[in-house]
A and B are shown apart, each in its own frame.
Chain A
Amino acid sequence: KAGVTQTPRYLIKTRGQQVTLSCSPISGHRSVSWYQQTPGQGLQFLFEYFSETQRNKGNFPGRFSGRQFSNSRSEMNVSTLELGDSALYLCASSPGQEAGANVLTFGAGSRLTVL
């Protein structure tokens, strides 16, 4: 079956702009998590959605938000971009419930550069 699909793969924005990233999980997976990866901070948890509900949120400012749709697809938005938001944003899906529910399958990521 198809893996986790993230779009766009690469994007360049300027400070103050906003960006929306999209993620389509593996078919049947109901949990979608988002992670930010930077050389300085490593992999950091942003938030997780399950059945359209945000179940948990990491320690990021309110400029970072997300949502999940009824088909489990998810989007994350970053407003008022800062230089420090430059990172690889990874989406991961998991079944959410059942054995192996916490095993994550990552997408290829969206690499955001803020100028």
Chain B
Amino acid sequence: GQQVMQIPQYQHVQEGEDFTTYCNSSTTLSNIQWYKQRPGGHPVFLIQLVKSGEVKKQKRLTFQFGEAKKNSSLHITATQTTDVGTYFCADFLRGSTLGRLYFGRGTQLTVWP
């Protein structure tokens, strides 16, 4: 079935350092969504990328969708302790029903003050 592979699984950074997580697929993605889950919390939608080569920014967060729509990345500039959490990418399977997303395993980010 559809799979999105996410790396790294864990990332520990010092506050102020940058952070990047990558999402890869062997098949073309219809679109890619990113969610953040704080420790003890639930996934919260961050953004959706639809177009090939798309780049979107949210303050210190930059999201990219690959030209071939087989990969995506989330980059955080100058991390803060509030960025702590697990970041998931998710793919909406084309032709599938709307509520069915395939989630990557996530990248757990720890930020040391």
Contact = CB atoms under 8 A, between A and B. Distances in A.
Q: Chain A: interface secondary structure?
A: strand
Interface stretch (A16-24, A76-84, A90-98): A90-98
Nearest to A93: B99
Interface string A26-49: 000001110100000011110011
Contact of A96 (B33, B98, B101, B106): B98
B42 A101 contact: no
A104 B41 contact: no
Interface of B: 31, 33, 35, 41-45, 48, 88, 90, 92, 96-106
Interface string A67-85: 0000000000000000000
Nearest to A6: B42
Given A102-B92, A108-B42, A31 B48 contact: no
- Could you say which of B33, B45, B105 has the most chain A C-beta atoms within 10 Å of its C-beta? B45
Nearest to A107: B42
A47 B112 CA distance: 38
Interface of A: 31-33, 35, 42-45, 48-50, 55-56, 58, 90, 92, 94, 96-97, 100-109
Nearest to B106: A42
- Could you say which of A33, A50, A101, A102 has the most chain B C-beta atoms within 10 Å of its C-beta? A102
Contacts of A48: 97-100
A104 B45 contact: yes
A55 B102 CA distance: 16
A104 B97 contact: no
Given A56-B96, A104-B99, A90 B42 contact: yes
B97 A55 contact: yes
Contacts of A58: 100
B33 A50 contact: no
20 contacts: A35-B103, A42-B106, A43-B103, A48-B97, A48-B98, A48-B99, A49-B99, A50-B99, A56-B96, A90-B42, A94-B99, A96-B98, A100-B48, A102-B33, A102-B99, A104-B45, A104-B99, A104-B101, A106-B42, A106-B44
